Amino acid sequence: MAGIVFFGTEQREEIVEFYIDAVGAEVWLEQTGCTILQHGNFLFGFCENEDTEDCGVVTFYYETRDQVDQMYEHLADRARDEPVENEAYDIYQFFADDPDGRTMEFQTFLHSVDDPCGDSPPKVH
């Protein structure tokens, strides 16, 4: 497993409770202002936001900062900014746009996390 879809929401607690109670998801990771849920091998997160988003963010995560940097070098022409540490979520990340304008995020957790499938994130080619 190496991906997460994120949505901004105005009502994080209520939406997380809905997905736990109605769908059977479980909390995979709790962060300040953001909850990542797991349902089977699917990871999806809801983060506090001033507006509710229904289009999401496609997030790819890697084992190391170097791998994130490699992806930045590969996608620099699409990147919005260089990779940075995000202390709020304890991650190292950058954002880019896909050809349709969708937001992509490339990150590594700066703390340990369990992989929901028991596999390591894919290596950068």
Q: What is the DSSP string of 41-68?
A: TEEEEEEE-SS--SS-EEEEEES-HHHH
43 in a domain, yes or no?
yes
**pLDDT of amino acid 54:** 80
Residue, of 53 and 79, whose pLDDT is higher: 79
64 in a domain, yes or no?
yes
Number of domains in the chain: 1
> How does DSSP classify residue 21?
I
Q: pLDDT tens, 55-69?
A: 888 888 888 999 999
CATH of the domain at 49: 3.10.180.10
Report the greatest alpha carbon distance in the chain: 42
118 in a domain, yes or no?
no
23 in a domain, yes or no?
yes
* Residue-number span of the structural domain to which 81 is assigned: 3-109
Strand-by-strand arrangement of the 91-97 sheet: 26-31, 34-39, 42-48, 3-9, 57-62, 103-109, 91-97, 84-86
Inform me whether the pLDDT recorded for 53 exceeds 70: yes
C-beta neighbour count of 100 within 10 angstroms: 5
Least confident of 49-53, 56-60, 86-90: 56-60
CA pseudo-torsion sign 77, 122, 65, 41: positive
**pLDDT of amino acid 90:** 94
114 in a domain, yes or no?
no
13 in a domain, yes or no?
yes
10 in a domain, yes or no?
yes
**pLDDT of amino acid 3:** 86
120 in a domain, yes or no?
no
